[in-house]
Each structure stands twice: as C-alpha cells, then as structure tokens.
C-alpha cells in the first residue's frame, strides 16, 4: 500500500532535469500519480458496476454507502486477488496500452499525457514483479483471456521483456 503512494513520486524524481520548467515537471508528476492510481479505479468499477453481486463487492459497496470510504479502499487493496477479470488487467488492454503509449510519447507532446502513460506502465511493472512469483495468480490477473496456462519461465520472460520495454519508454522521455 505504501509503495502505491510513494513509488510514483520516486519514479518522477528521475525526470526532474528533463523538463525546461518546473511547471512542466509538476504536470508530469501529476500525470504519473494519476496514471499510477488509474488502475486502482478499475477495482471500483468492478465492485460497483461490472460485478456488483459478488459477496466481496457487496462488502465494498456497503462500506462505501455507510460513508466508510477508507474501509472500502482498504478492502480493495488488501483483497485484490478476489477481483478477477478487471478491464485494465487483460492481454487485450496491455496491447492497447502499448500502442497508445507509443503514440502519446512520440506524437502528442502533452506532459500530463506522457506522465499518465508512464504512471500506468509503472503500476503494471510494479504489479508484474509482485505477481510473477505466483504463476496461477499472474495468469488469473493478466492473461485470463488467453485460454492456456503459462509456465513460470514464460511469465518471467514476459516480465523481464516488459521491464526492458518500460525502461526504453522512460529513456524516451529523458533523452
């Protein structure tokens, strides 16, 4: 949980000297934080709109309706494995993310947009490394659309490849 708060700021600090003005850097940091937290928003959509009838999602909604917002957020972060088939955690969304990120980084010039896409990528990279130790969990969280099981070696290769890709994306901003 603490990593979800501090990691975007630590990552953003790497880019401090990459922007000509402090205001651009601030917009970049806001974009990174927003992008990093955007994947968490998917958990709310799952609980309130996509699968509202599951027992866990009913608990989250009950917390929220009673005004216990912190309790709802805490439940969502601590029981993340109970929510499967999230929109942003699928093979299809990862493909869209890669294409959209390449477009935003190379063609838009939006500092906030670049930060947002890198924030999303940072969250993916963080989660991939956390989940890579458990092949079944990784497959359920990210490759649920693919109708085959993956070995630990295949998942490790994917995570390393993704990490290299994310480092290259980050270098595009620094350079």
Tell me the three-class secondary structure of the chain, residue by residue. Answer: CHHHHHHHHHHHHCCHHHCCCHHHHHHHHHHHHHHHHHHHHHHHHHHHHHCCCCHHHHHHHHHHHCCCHHHHHHHHHHCHHHCCCCCCCCHHHHHHHHHHHHHHHHHHCCHHHHHHHHHHHHHHHHHHHHHCCCHHHHHHHHCCCCCCCCCHHHHHHHHHHHHHHHHHHHHHHHC
Residue 80 lies in a domain: no
Residue 57 lies in a domain: no
For the chain, the domain total comes to 1
Residue 122 lies in a domain: yes
Residue 20 lies in a domain: yes
pLDDT band at 44 (very low <50, low <70, confident <90, very high): confident
Residue 59 lies in a domain: no
For the entire predicted model, the pTM comes to: 0.85
Residue 2: its pLDDT value, please? 65
pLDDT, one tens digit per residue, over 45-91 is 877 787 778 788 788 888 888 888 888 888 877 777 666 777 788 88
The boundaries of the domain holding residue 21 are 2-50+87-174
Residue 8 lies in a domain: yes
Residue 167: its pLDDT value, please? 94
């Amino acid at each position: 949980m603490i990593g979800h708060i501090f990691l975007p700021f630590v990552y953003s600090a790497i880019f401090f000297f990459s922007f000509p003005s402090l205001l651009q850097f601030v917009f970049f940091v806001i974009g990174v934080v927003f992008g990093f937290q955007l994947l968490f928003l998917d958990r709310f959509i799952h609980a309130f709109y996509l699968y509202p009838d599951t027992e866990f999602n009913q608990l989250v909604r009950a917390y929220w309706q009673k005004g216990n917002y912190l309790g709802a957020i805490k439940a969502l972060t601590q029981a993340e494995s109970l929510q499967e088939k999230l929109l942003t955690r699928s093979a299809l969304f990862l493909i869209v993310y890669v294409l959209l990120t390449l477009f935003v980084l190379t063609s838009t010039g939006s500092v906030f947009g670049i930060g947002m896409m890198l924030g999303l990528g940072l969250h993916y990279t963080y989660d991939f490394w956390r989940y890579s130790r458990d092949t079944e969990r990784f497959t359920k969280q990210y490759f649920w659309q693919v109708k085959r099981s993956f070995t630990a070696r295949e998942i490790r290769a994917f995570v390393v490849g993704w990490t290299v890709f994310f480092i290259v994306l980050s270098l595009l901003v620094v350079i």
